[in-house]
Chain A
Amino acid sequence: KQEVTQIPAALSVPEGENLVLNCSFTDSAIYNLQWFRQDPGKGLTSLLLIQSSQREQTSGRLNASLDKSSGRSTLYIAASQPGDSATYLCAVKGYGQNFVFGPGTRLSVLP
């Protein structure tokens, strides 16, 4: 059974810092991995989707990497802003299976 963990559980940084969020999964036979952002009490917004054949994806200040062999993905946020404050979730999809979500990392970017 696929299990997904995220470290750290919470992170507080001053504005302007570059930061890395981590996602680990136990079964490396994945189809894709998706990073989401969730604001308090709201739904999830898709940030980046990485197919299993890809190593990374970039969108603006966000860069996500995938290392299937080690069961890890990282989300890099450059030049963080207070508007980046949210919970970040990763979700892994295995072949023939549905998405399994991690518990999330709660990010606070201080002005």
Chain B
Amino acid sequence: DAKTTQPNSMESNEEEPVHLPCNHSTISGTDYIHWYRQLPSQGPEYVIHGLTSNVNNRMASLAIAEDRKSSTLILHRATLRDAAVYYCILDTGNQFYFGTGTSLTVIP
């Protein structure tokens, strides 16, 4: 069974914010939440990660629910270069568990 569930696809207009949701209801207290993105025929690229508190970096923000059973990746202003498959991942310390990803389309 998948440890994370995400919508298969989402669309956003260019320069508008994007909220990518992820459910991880079986998360344990020590599991980290990571987000990576992948362009076609390339390896995944790190976006952001967190444990309990919300996180911000130059690429995105990560909002983690208080019960940690869901999280949201926020791209503040989508650009055409943000079009990719975004993976929500549970990090148990031994390994990463990838979801099936959300394919983000950015509309000019």
Determine if chain A interacts with chain B.
no
